[in-house]
Structure 1
Amino acid sequence: MVRDIREVTPEEHWKQFEEAWTALLSYRYLGKLSPDLDSEVERETMPLRHDMRNSTGGIMAAPLCIASPEPYWLDSQCVPAPVVMSYDILDSARDVHQVVVHRDVIHLGRSMGFSRSLTVDADDPSRVIAVSCGTGVSLGDVPEDYQKVSNPPVPVVDSPSLPPLHQVFGARRGQDGVWRLPEVTPELSSPHAALHLGPINIVLEAAATDAAAAHAGTDALQVDSWIVMFVRPGVAGPFRAEAEVVSGRSERIATQLTLRDEGRGDRVVSVARAVFRRV
């Protein structure tokens, strides 16, 4: 059972947050470190492993969304939820082993927050891998006196034989050719008991890549642009990812994506757009 942090008392809030934060798989499995929430962490970093790359060795979009979630509105400040996340990938990062995120918080208001970020090579900060921006909403206030949480990453040894991220997060392509995520669990859930942005981006990218590769006749593709809009919370599941190629007559292939909550009358959870180029 997934518990909504908004339903607990102020006295229980931070204990419930710690349970939700340390159960969530998105950041722990990918090795993402969050200095403002995690104890004994100084920089916002994430390694780039084989399972975060496409068939040509270029970086995928979903890992960048997890490395640099937008907006930069912390659980220590409110109960945040993303609305729009937008990424332009400038460098395929084939020889990059770790990224660092540099934040620029534009405005955090009563109900909406805005930020933009640069994701750069940890060994060469002048090498920008991606630029991103986004908006989000506050779903509620939180108590003061947040204490950072011990949240060490899952120990994952990088290897070409690592399982793909979609497999780790439970996404599967069914016999009907459609990608789905399972029902919401603590490992896939935000503290407010909705499907987390991590698995959302992972399953949408799997569906987008399949559709673009089928259209192009090759999987030698690199995603250049990635935009996700979060329409409603995904609270039940399974979740169905729909993908459609909408433009592919040039070197760039655009796909439209929709994620639906089959456990809530097929309502739309997220929509996205991905633009790939042939490598």
Structure 2
Amino acid sequence: MSGSTEADHTAPDPRGDWAPSRGVLMSYAYLGSSPQVVDRTHAHNVLRLREDLRTPAGAVTAAPLAIAMLDAAVVNVESMHVRAVTQVDVTIVDCALDVERVLLAGAITAEARTQLFTEARISDADDSERQIGFGSANWAVVGTTPQRFCFPEPAGEVSGTGALPPLWHAYSARRRFDGLLEIPRLQDVGGERLHHAPMLVVAEAVALEQAAETLGTDKLSVDCLSMTMVAPGRIGPFVATPVFSAVDTETVGCRVELRDAGWDDCLVAAAFVRMQSY
């Protein structure tokens, strides 16, 4: 475990040294994410569950929860020279049909020389007794973080709900000629390497499409999402492909691979999403 002093791990102030990067990365800002530091190892985030963050059945999707969880973690871990998240897991126990806002209470659970581990308890922001789910993430500690990944100033939420595009479209993904989704290499989704937020959004969208085709309905809820990032996305486009499905009555599990088509189809991330008809 780390023996660094508390002074070494003081949470950064996004209005100070990192001000030049404010607003550069849209991954968090688009969701209206607004994390607040509690102390060196804890941070909270509140996320309003807009219509575009839900399935057609009204159930909350896992990718926005994962992104908000990671955003809360960022305000703690960025000062610890964390360069990349390597594993993300979100489990949903309440699909939050009638929940307007969720609170993500994040914490650093363990610090090691080359890895750091964070978690978040997810609950109804207006009813602390109502638990929505739980998430965790593993981070690689490899050196100074590129400026492109500095914590952006908390941004205002996107106005309106009815005119919002599908979340995968908002995160710059596009439909290929063969029906698959791909993410082009754009400045607003990573710059030096593909950011984890569009990876999560697109992988879950592909899994939901696969489940809808398998079950014959898009009225679905997401039980869990697990993603492992195995290599940086360097060139693009990044193609998301469903490679495996398991079906049991009204439940579908789908594995989605994200590969860098511009880098010999290198595997960048692999996700597994469990869903069920609602």
Measured against the shorter chain, the TM-score band is 0.7 to 0.9
Report if the CA contact (8 A) 1:74-1:80 is conserved: no
Q: Could you report, residue by residue, the CA deviation over 1:196-236 in whole angstroms, capped at 9, with x for unpaired residues?
A: 11101111111111111111111111110110000001121
Amino acid at match of 1:76: S
> In the alignment, which residue of structure 2 is the partner of 1:92?
95
SS in 2 for 1:170: coil
SS in 1 for 2:214: helix
Distance 2:264 2:161 in 1: 40
With 150-159 and 225-234 compared, the bigger mean Cα shift is at 150-159
Amino acid at match of 1:117: A
5 Å matches for 1:107-126? Answer: 107-126=110-129
User: Equivalent of 2:162, from 157, 160, 176?
Assistant: 160
Distance 1:21 1:80 in 2: 18
Shift of 1:67: 1.2
Of Structure 1 and Structure 2, the greater strand share is in 2
Relative to structure 1, the CA distance from residue 18 to residue 265 in structure 2 (aligned partners, 3 Å threshold; closer, same or farther) is farther
5 Å matches for 1:223-234? Answer: 223-234=222-233
Shift of 1:136: 1.2
Distance 1:35 1:70 in 2: 10
> In the alignment, which residue of structure 2 is the partner of 1:11?
none
Name structure 1 gaps, 5 residues minimum.
Answer: 1-13, 143-147
Q: Could you report, residue by residue, the CA deviation over 1:86-134 in whole angstroms, capped at 9, with x for unpaired residues?
A: 1111111111111111123221122101122101111011111111112
Q: State the Cα RMSD in Å.
A: 2.4
Distance 2:164 2:72 in 1: 30
Shift of 1:71: 9.4
> In the alignment, which residue of structure 1 is the partner of 2:220?
221
5 Å matches for 1:58-207? Answer: 58-69=59-70, 72=73, 74-141=77-144, 151-185=153-187, 187-189=188-190, 193-207=192-206
Relative to structure 1, the CA distance from residue 70 to residue 273 in structure 2 (aligned partners, 3 Å threshold; closer, same or farther) is farther
Percent sequence identity over matched residues? 30
Amino acid at match of 2:56: S
Distance 1:97 1:227 in 2: 24
SS in 2 for 1:166: helix
What TM-score, normalized by structure 1, do the two folds share?
0.84
Q: Could you report, residue by residue, the CA deviation over 1:133-165 in whole angstroms, capped at 9, with x for unpaired residues?
A: 1211112147xxxxx977141441232331111
Shift of 1:181: 0.6
Q: Could you report, residue by residue, the CA deviation over 1:21-79 in whole angstroms, capped at 9, with x for unpaired residues?
A: 52111111101112239xxxx84222111110110111011111111128935212213
> In the alignment, which residue of structure 1 is the partner of 2:207?
208
